[in-house]
Amino acid sequence: MSAETIWAAIKGLRLTLRHVFKEPRVTVQYPEEKKPHSPRYRGLHEQRLTPDGRQLCVGCSLCAAACPVDCIYVEAGEEEEDSGRYLSPERFARVYKINMSRCIFCGYCVEACPTYALGMTKVMDELVFDNRWNAIWDMDMLIENFRRRMREEGIEIPEPKQPAASGGAS
Amino acid sequence: MDYSAFISSMVKMVIVLGFVMLMVPMLIWMERKVLADIQARMGPNRVGPYGLLQCFADGIKLFFKEDVIPAKVDKVVYVVAPAVSMTCALAVFSVIPFGGLRPGEGTAVAPDINVGLLLVLATMSISVYGIVLGGWASNNKYSLLGSLRSSAQMISYELSLGLSVIGVLMLSGSLNIVDIVNAQQKSTWFLILQPLGFVVYLVSAFAETNRVPFDLPEAETELVAGFHTEYSSMKFAMFFMGEYTFVMAHAALVTALFLGGWSGPVLPGIFWFLLKMFAVIYFFMWVRGTLPRLRYDQLMSFGWKVLLPLGLANVFITGLMLSLWQSMG
């Protein structure tokens, strides 16, 4: 243990003592303070609507095919006549569920969507659940996420109309 | 028979033990806050004001954790080992004088033991058993290796610890810690008269308590958790508390032996004692946040090849100085 080692140790102690008196600290006091997200931050999904409130998703399930974790479930359906809820009565997603406890937020599903119906928001705070069933987000919840984001930007998208008795979205 | 002295010393013991047991969670809080200050972050600040209740939350959590006892352990030894560690740490406090309520007054806690310093060194030696038995009884080769490393380290550094104290002993002429503090009040702090002894003691104290930079036996990357791998809940808590109690005991001893104990102007003696003790504890934590860990062979060679000769040199030089001074009249 030479003199240089001892002097190095003393210099190290001086450095750490300097840090004690240095503000600011790097701690971010979540949830009061939050670090800003990048513009393309991948958070909770949204299912988009047309400006007059029609669901864009056609139920092609390309997102489910693209998902590496296999956490999207899609059932397609058709209706006899146009109920005003869907983009086209020929084909829509009757059942659409994403299991958020399995989602890895990679964004492959969003890249796969051919109608730009599926998107990703920067929301993460809503993703709190205390049982496994609350982790499954269905179509209504994802549409609501989209409408809330639109409302924050000042655009009011009307609520999607109730579907006809046969078929039905979930 | 006169019971009043017995009862008064019992009451004093209860107060001191209560104080020590309460201070250990505070030390854990202090360590987290001090490390956070050094690392440019905030420590616990959610649970209670300034995070002060965090340690109690941790204690309650440890209390309620499931007490897992692995199947093939030596049950009696397994349970007794943490108790040995904790008891020896607490026993050291029975001979440390804390300082009274008037400025410059000291009170020994237990009956004033003439060989207080010897008792302290002996008790610290016995506490090594807690670690050895804990590692052996765990029936786990990594625990065993960790405990052997730790006990070898502690035994080696006890030698330099004892040697550094001999200088103080020569200057004060008594093993009674109260007398040592009084001797410092007459002359100066032994820190000034025994700088080498102070440094040797401090470094040996770091090694005795298994703290950085000598904490390889506990290093998580090396041996899982060393000798306390297989321990959970209260037994782990007891090992943990034993370690922090030892830190406090060493800090209290440094204060009493080298920093003048309870002496200080104006304010009550106990205030000065606690102030100096916590300054030493702050130094322990400051070093933890700064220095890297020594490898085990570096550790052992440092203890035997550097500290032991330095301790011996200290004894020799102190003896030389004393005899010169005495011969000069």
Q: For residue A44, what pLDDT is reported? A: 93
**Residue contact B289–A16, C-beta within 8 A:** yes
Phi and psi at residue A45, to the nearest 5°: -75, 165
Q: Report B:3-62 residues touching A (Cβ under 8 A).
A: 34, 36-42
Residues above pLDDT 70, as percent of chain B: 91
Q: For residue A120, what pLDDT is reported? A: 93
Residue B110 has pLDDT above 60, yes or no: no
pLDDT band at A103 (very low <50, low <70, confident <90, very high): very high
- Positive or negative CA dihedral for A137, A143, A147, A150? positive
Residue A165 has pLDDT above 60, yes or no: no
Q: Are B299 and B207 in contact (CB under 8 A)?
A: yes
Tell me which chain B residues have a C-beta less than 8 angstroms from the C-beta of A1: 302, 306
Q: Are B217 and B49 in contact (CB under 8 A)?
A: no
Whole-number average pLDDT of chain B? 83
**Residue contact A1–B38, C-beta within 8 A:** no
pLDDT band at B222 (very low <50, low <70, confident <90, very high): low
**Residue contact A26–B41, C-beta within 8 A:** yes
Instruction: Name the minimum distance, in Å, from the CA of B102 to any CA of chain A.
Output: 34
* Among candidates B34, B37, B291 on the partner chain, residue whose Cβ is nearest the Cβ of A12: B291
Residue A19 has pLDDT above 90, yes or no: no
Output the CATH code of domain A38-152: 3.30.70.3270
**Residue contact B290–A19, C-beta within 8 A:** no
Phi and psi at residue B104, to the nearest 5°: 75, 15
Tell me which chain B residues have a C-beta less than 8 angstroms from the C-beta of A16: 38, 286, 289-290
Residue B112 has pLDDT above 80, yes or no: no
Q: How many CB atoms lie within 10 A of CB B59?
A: 16
Tell me which chain A residues have a C-beta less than 8 angstroms from the C-beta of B40: 19, 22, 25-26
Per-residue pLDDT tens digits for B126-136: 988 888 888 88
Residue B262 has pLDDT above 80, yes or no: no
Answer whether A9 touches B (CB < 8 Å).
Answer: yes
- Reduced to 3 states (helix: H, G, I; strand: E, B; else coil), residue B193 is helix
Q: At what angle do helices B269-288 and A3-20 cross, to 10 degrees?
A: 110
**Residue contact A17–B40, C-beta within 8 A:** no
Residue B11 has pLDDT above 90, yes or no: no
Residue range B58-66: average pLDDT?
A: 83
Cis upstream peptide for B195 (omega within 30°):
no
Q: Are B214 and B206 in contact (CB under 8 A)?
A: yes
* Among candidates B38, B287, B302 on the partner chain, residue whose Cβ is nearest the Cβ of A19: B38
Quick one: closest CA in A to B43, which residue?
A: A27
Tell me which chain A residues have a C-beta less than 8 angstroms from the C-beta of B37: 19-20
Distance CA B69, CA B79 (A): 9
Residue range B299-308: average pLDDT?
A: 90
Residue range A21-33: average pLDDT?
A: 81
Q: For residue A38, what pLDDT is reported? A: 92
Domain spans of chain A, in order of start: 38-152
**Residue contact A19–B37, C-beta within 8 A:** yes
- When mean pLDDT is compared across A80-94, B80-94, B134-148, the lowest value belongs to B134-148
Task: Name the DSSP class of B49.
Answer: G
Burial of A32 (0-12, 13-18, 19+ CB in 10 A): exposed
| Amino acid identity for residue A85 in this structure | R
Tell me which chain B residues have a C-beta less than 8 angstroms from the C-beta of A27: 41-42
Distance CA A118, CA A131 (A): 25
Tell me which chain A residues have a C-beta less than 8 angstroms from the C-beta of B306: 1
Mutate to test the interface with A, among B50, B202, B203, B290 (most CBs of A within 10 A): B290
Q: Are B193 and B171 in contact (CB under 8 A)?
A: yes
**Residue contact B40–A15, C-beta within 8 A:** no
Residue A135 has pLDDT above 80, yes or no: yes
**Residue contact B40–A16, C-beta within 8 A:** no
Q: Are B89 and B16 in contact (CB under 8 A)?
A: no
Q: In angstroms, how far is CA B54 from the centroid of its own chain? A: 23
Phi and psi at residue A46, to the nearest 5°: -140, 150
Of B180, B170, B163, residue with least CA distance to B318? B170
Distance CA A72, CA B127 (A): 59
pLDDT band at B329 (very low <50, low <70, confident <90, very high): low
Residue scoring higher pLDDT (B212 or B315): B315
Residue B223 has pLDDT above 60, yes or no: no
| Amino acid identity for residue B19 in this structure | F
Residue scoring higher pLDDT (B266 or B309): B309
Answer whether A1 touches B (CB < 8 Å).
Answer: yes
The segment with the largest mean pLDDT, out of A149-153, A155-159, B133-137, B183-187, is: A149-153
Distance CA B251, CA B282 (A): 10
H/E run at residue B102:
none
Residue B102 has pLDDT above 70, yes or no: no
Distance CA B51, CA B26 (A): 11
Answer whether B306 touches A (CB < 8 Å).
Answer: yes
